[in-house]
Amino acid sequence: MNIQSKLPNVGTTIFTVMSALANEHQAINLSQGFPNFDCAPELRNLVNKYLQTGFNQYAPMGGAPVLTEKLAHKIQKLYGANVNPKTEITITAGGTQALFTAITTFIKSGDEVVLIEPAYDSYGPSIEVCGGVVVPYEMKVPDFKIDWNELEELMNDRTKMLIINTPHNPTGSILLEKDLKIIEALAEKYDLIVLSDEVYEHLIYDEEQHQSVLRFPKLFQRSLAVYSFGKTFHSTGWKMGYCVAPEHLMKEFRKVHQFNVFSVNSFVQYAIAEYLEEESTYLSLNNFYQEKRDFFLDKIKDSKLRPIKCAGTYFQLVDYSEISDEPEFEFAKRMTTEFGVAVIPVSAFYTKKINQKVVRICFAKTEDLLEEAAELICKI
């Protein structure tokens, strides 16, 4: 059978590779982005409550109204945006499904999409499946900042979409208000759709404020913003997220969503809706994860790894150039097999081959595990 792959250059993800290597060598796995602790018992109890009381049939395609209404209230309070819960919010099977649906809804063959790299690994393949063209803009060490004049040089009349991610995985950098205003101007100038990956919206540190596209009314009219309950509530295995977009974009998004997933499991939606009534469940996350970041940084301060500022997410980049000149993947493998700590090479998040001697560490772990990993790191 003559099968022509839509993704001929895609193999096993770096996360699967490094986690398998960690398991093989009994290394501490700080590579994949998931917590090693469970979600709150209150949330688990609510899930069980709604499961046992019969919320087990299809939810409405856009999401359970009780949940979308809670989210609309949350959005108004945090970002000052009045979002219609019936027509501008869709509950999805995780953030990645929302991203894929947004891309496949609007990208056609030949459309160009500007990616800011290093980039989450699902963006590029999702674009390519649609016949779109990835146009990468490379952020680089030491600060992973964006030169907007250089990025604009990549845009033309074929550019259909700009994908942004703030707080940013894997770098931990954030976009500021001035950045969003520039994006707003670029979107209008080039008639762009902006896909904003904001799954780490509550994981932002040092008293900074998350700058969502929802804060900027003109920009929001051209944007789809994606969020993740899994990242927020330490329940990545549930695959629960949502997308927020103006009605004219959401109408098209739902056309694809209904034939892709249609609706998301109902009892978890009702549980999350009730859990959201207590705002501290998400407003305290910045302090919770900043303590973990600071704890880990203190424990590795005497190592030869040089931390790069982490302003958000639960990922910490470190520069290993004082230890080795190896390419990032080779060093990441050696950290796993010889030193007992699995990490991710940042080069895996770029389209082109690049070696900046930087690896990504996930600190969404218990302090005892972080301390054990730090002891091993300090021996390198």
pLDDT at residue number 245: 98
Q: According to DSSP H, which parts of the chain are helical?
A: 14-24, 41-52, 65-79, 95-106, 123-129, 148-152, 177-189, 217-220, 229-232, 247-260, 266-275, 280-283, 285-299, 328-337, 367-377
Neighbours of 201 (CB within 10 A): 26
* The 358-362 sheet, strands edge to edge: 306-308, 315-319, 358-362, 344-345
Q: What would the pLDDT profile of 62-77 be if each residue is shown by its tens digit?
A: 999 999 999 999 999 9
Residue 377 Cα distances to 149, 159, 191, 299, 336, angstroms? 39, 44, 48, 9, 11
Q: Which residue ranges of the chain lie beneath pLDDT 50?
A: none
Q: Which residues on neighbouring strands pair with residue 198, listed in sequence order?
A: none
Residue 110 Cα distances to 131, 286, 308, 330, angstroms? 6, 40, 37, 35
Q: Record the tokens describing residue 39, joined without a space.
A: 């979600």
pLDDT at residue number 9: 84
Q: Report CA torsion sign: 187, 240, 269, 165.
A: negative
pLDDT at residue number 239: 96
Residues of the chain within CATH 3.40.640.10 domain(s) are 41-279
Neighbouring C-alpha atoms within 13 Å toward the C-beta of 34: 14
- Class assignment of domain 41-279? alpha beta
pLDDT at residue number 315: 98
Question: Domain 14-32+284-377, what fold?
Answer: Aspartate Aminotransferase, domain 1 (3.90.1150)
pLDDT at residue number 13: 86
Residues of the chain within CATH 3.90.1150.10 domain(s) are 14-32+284-377
The model carries a pTM of 0.97
pLDDT at residue number 256: 98
